[in-house]
Amino acid sequence: MTYEPFDVIVVPFPFADSSMTKRRPALVLSQKSDFGVKIEHSVLAMITSQKNDPWPLDVEIKNKKQSGLTASSVVRMKLFTLDNRFILRKIGHLSKTDQKYVKQSLSKIFDYL
């Protein structure tokens, strides 16, 4: 299955110091392109409720209901690719306003595009 940009999904995240995983939300950034369709991978950003140690370019998710999140969270620009087979489910989609702020953060990272 392929996912749309700004879908909020659940994936198994590994713990930094262990081989164990925990289910965590993530944000789909990639388009349904050859990368997503033929290779069946998605480019994702981390979503976290841990805001006490913020990263530059964190984006607070304002519309929790539409995103499917139950806790106040931020999109963290910790980007990675993941085989779509590991995506457990879709829980929501970012609002247009939240999408705008994520795009602004991404443009600051990839300002050469």
pTM attached to this predicted model: 0.90
Q: Is residue 108 part of a domain?
A: no
CB 3 within 8 A of CB 31: no
pLDDT in tens, 75-105: 999 999 999 999 999 999 999 999 999 999 9
3-state helix, strand, coil in the chain (%, to 5): 25, 35, 40
Q: Is residue 89 part of a domain?
A: yes
Q: Is residue 30 part of a domain?
A: yes
Question: What was the pLDDT predicted at 37?
Answer: 75
Question: What was the pLDDT predicted at 39?
Answer: 83
> Which residues constitute the domain of residue 26?
7-95
User: What CATH number has the domain bearing residue 56?
Assistant: 2.30.30.110
Banded model confidence at residue 2, pLDDT cuts 50, 70, 90: confident
Neighbouring CB atoms inside 10 A of 84's CB total: 17
Distance of CA 92 to the CA centre of its chain: 11
Q: Is residue 102 part of a domain?
A: no
